[in-house]
Amino acid sequence: MSWRINDPQCHEADKIKYLVVPYTRGRGLDVGCGPNKAFPHFIGVDNFNDTRQFGIGMKPDVVVEDATKLDIFTDQSMNFVFSSHTLEHIEDTEKALREWWRVIKPSGYLILYLPHKDLYPNIGQPGANTDHKHDFLPEDIINIMRGIKGFDLLINEDRDNDNGEGQPGNEYSFLQVYRKRSDNEIRFRHDKPKKTAFIVRYGGFGDMIQASSILPGLKEQGYHVIFNTTEKGKNVLEHDPYIDEFYLQDTDQVPNNELGLYWGALKKRFTKFINLSESVEGALLSLPGRVDSFWTEIARRLTKNVNYIELTHPIAEVKLPPRSKFYATDEEKKWARLEGNKMSGLKILYSLAGSSVHKTWPHIDALFARILLSYPDATIVLVGDQMCKLLEQGWENEQRVWRRSGEWTIRQTLTFACQEADLVIGPETGVLNAAGMEDVSKIVTLSHSSEENLTKHWKNTISLKPNNVHCYPCHRMHYNFDNCIKHDSGTALCQWSITIDQMWEAVQRLVKKSEAA
């Protein structure tokens, strides 16, 4: 390895920032941020040295005299400290590292990107930075960190990369990521598996369940499976046996206009890169403002009436059939059984609303009254987020209606739906998706999706469609009512148009089928 004298020396953090996303979640520092922080959520820390020496303008969030003194920040107050091409400018390396380590929480991260002694002009050589105090090899930092103790070294990578065409790139550095341990142990991460499949999927609970369909096939192909999602997505998939590790990012941690660059940087690092972002929304559900949102209803139906999972599988190069599933732990199943044992007869789980404005069926009170009168031993469990408490009003005094919105976690809800309920009812939500391939009886009120889109492969399911609503299925994503016809009831016209008689007939049919079995 040798220094390339014409390599660009600027915006160093931009060269690796997309590779450290899972280690820079939450609240953290960019020490020596210069004129531009790596990401907007970083707290930029600098001493204006580049302004004094080179006239470079900057506006750090916090100004310090010396990066070895971060007194403004308390012990263990940060999720991470990130620093790019700064440590080599500091005389007392160990003092700086100890100070940065001090402010990091247990399980937090120290991310260092530094010029490599074998790749960059050393002090006194032509082309060297006159302000450098040190020429570092990766081992130099590791030896100092050994004295500090208590870390896992997750990444230790020479960054003398190429441009993807076998030609030299523009890096001359090394990247290290240390995770802070609560003990004094020191551990080094083992080599990465040779055959890796990296899956990108953000979105709601139902999106995670649909994505789970490809995972068994990838494992059967011999891949080490890495799933890139948010904490919300991980919560649903956390115990899926076909996922080897999660690669997490916070919502909007990477700005939308940088996602393409982020995905491009990651794609080079894995054997198979599977991007399921917008594989449903965007591809089969039109997003507001996109070209297809201005198409006619007929045009959208001609192009978008495709099963969501059937499109997911070829993107991942995994053969059908669908194998989507929610995996509950033994402890969660035990909890669900105990809850179910408190109910004497028919157990109905009703998912009150989804994540979009059109995912609420408005005739629930009439339905609950019919169920309670016709099935004296029935228990109805109402689930949803905290906002769904509003839809539970009026049933406070009915002991056979359990109001659990905002009380049961999503994993508890999904476990009960898949393990204990006799009947699951609701709009197009993650709850219905999770139960879709299970044997439990289900009734779903369709809104923006057709049966072909959503329930084609579901078991023991009745899909209720709106009557005489010209816009159904609209194949649109709705975040408000701008492109959704709103009924006087405050709900979407498509949901209002699914009548109580339709629902009641479906309930009776499935209950009779269950009793006969």
Q: Looking at 48-192, which runs of residues are DSSP E strands?
A: 62-63, 78-84, 104-115, 151-159, 173-180, 186-188
How many CB atoms are closer than 10 A to CB 262?
19
Q: Mark whether 160 and 242 lie in a shared domain.
A: no
Contacts of 485 (CB under 8 A, 6+ apart): 469, 471, 492, 493, 494
Q: Are residues 478 and 383 in the same domain?
A: yes
**pLDDT value, residue 164:** 45
Would the pLDDT of 165 be above 60? no
Angle between helices 138-148 and 93-102 (to 10 degrees): 60
Domain boundary among 291, 316, 341: 316
Residues 385 and 484 in one domain: yes
pLDDT-based confidence at residue 9 (cuts at 50, 70, 90): low
Q: Is 78 among the domain residues?
A: yes
Please count the residues of the chain. 517
The CATH number that applies at residue 20 is 3.40.50.150
Q: What is the pLDDT of residue 386?
A: 94
- Residues with Cβ < 8 Å from 189, sequence gap 6 or more? 152, 153, 154, 155
Residue 308: give its domain's CATH number. Answer: 3.40.50
The whole domain housing 469 covers: 330-516
pLDDT computed for residue 233 by the predictor:
97
- For residues 47 and 159, the model is more confident at 159
Residues 397 and 500 in one domain: yes
Domain boundary among 168, 188, 208: 188
Indicate the average pLDDT of the chain.
93
Q: Is residue 154 part of a domain?
A: yes
Least-confidence region, from 43-52, 192-201, 272-281, 418-427: 43-52
Q: How far apart are CA 65 and CA 197, in angstroms?
A: 45
Mean pLDDT value of segment 190-194: 82
What are the strands of the beta sheet with 461-464, ordered from one edge? 401-403, 379-383, 347-351, 423-427, 441-445, 461-464
Q: Which of 316, 343, 364 is the last residue of a domain?
A: 316
Q: Is the dihedral of CA 252, 254, 259, 263 positive or negative?
A: negative
* Residue 6 covered by a domain: no
Here the CATH number for the domain that contains residue 504 is 3.40.50.2000
Is 325 among the domain residues? no
pLDDT of residue 53: 57
5 found inside a domain: no
- The 3-state DSSP class for residue 285 equals strand
Does some domain include residue 418?
yes
Question: Would you state the pLDDT for residue 167?
Answer: 45
**Which pair of structure tokens corresponds to residue 268?**
């080079």
- Is residue 321 a part of any domain in this protein? no
SS3 assignment, position 255: coil
- 104-115 and 173-180 as β-strands: parallel, antiparallel, unpaired? antiparallel
Residues 360 and 262 reside in one and the same domain: no
Average pLDDT over residues 63-91: 95
356 and 473 co-located in one domain: yes
Same domain? 216 vs 250: yes
In this structure, what is the dihedral angle of CA atoms 308, 316, 355, 418, given to the nearest 10 degrees? 80
Asked if 72 and 181 sit in the same domain, the reply is yes
Greater pLDDT, 413 or 127? 413
Q: Which residues of 128-145 are buried (b: 16+ CB within 10 A; e: fewer)?
A: eeeebebbbebeebbebb
Residues 338 and 365 in one domain: yes
* 481-514 residue pLDDT tens: 999 999 999 999 999 999 999 999 999 999 998 8
Beta bridge partners of 427: 445
pTM equals 0.92
My answer on whether 379 and 482 are in the same domain is: yes
Residue partners of 362: CB distance under 8 A and separation at least 6: 487, 489, 490, 491, 495, 496
Higher pLDDT, 145 or 163: 145
Please indicate, yes or no, whether residues 408 and 459 belong to a single structural domain of this protein. yes
Percent of the chain past pLDDT 90, that is, above it, reads: 87
323 within a domain of the structure (yes/no): no
Domains of the chain: total: 3
Do 414 and 274 share a structural domain? no
CA nearest neighbour of 375 among 343, 403, 406, 352: 343
Q: Give SS3 for 69.
A: coil
**pLDDT reported for residue 163:** 45
Distances in Å between the alpha carbon of 461 and those of 364, 411, 425, 437, 457? 19, 22, 10, 9, 9
